[in-house]
Amino acid sequence: GDVARVGAVAAAQPRYVPRPTPSMPGVYELSTEALAAAPNAGAVDALYAAWPEQCSADARRFMDAAARDAWLDVVFARNQARAERARGATSRPWNPARAAWLADGTA
């Protein structure tokens, strides 16, 4: 039945499947040296032409200045909140001083 068919399919599978290597067709090495040896200036030019606006804070790219400016507003607000948290909360006493308790006359 089904169990025998599954067993037959499993038995037909190779025990070892080699990892893809750069010598196999369709597999490319993505090391820095390999990429530097075969630069693709067209792809880089297309990237900069399609996404001309760049964020000065984190180097993200945008298609137009309005999207970049909106992102810069988000980055600014995030940085302001982070700086506010780093400063810590303002500590204020919530109860009256001892002198105020004694001056009240009820203690």
pLDDT in tens, 10-27: 777 766 666 656 565 555
CB-neighbour burial class of residue 77 (10 A; exposed 0-12, middle 13-18, buried 19+)? exposed
What is the spatial distance between Cα 11 and Cα 5, in angstroms, rounded to a whole number? 10
- The answer for residues whose C-beta is within 8 angstroms of residue 75's C-beta and 6 or more apart is 55, 57, 58
Domain boundaries, the chain: 55-88
pLDDT in tens, 36-70: 777 676 777 777 788 889 999 999 999 899 999 99
**What mean pLDDT do residues 97-101 have?**
78
Task: Note the pTM of the prediction, 2 decimals.
Answer: 0.45
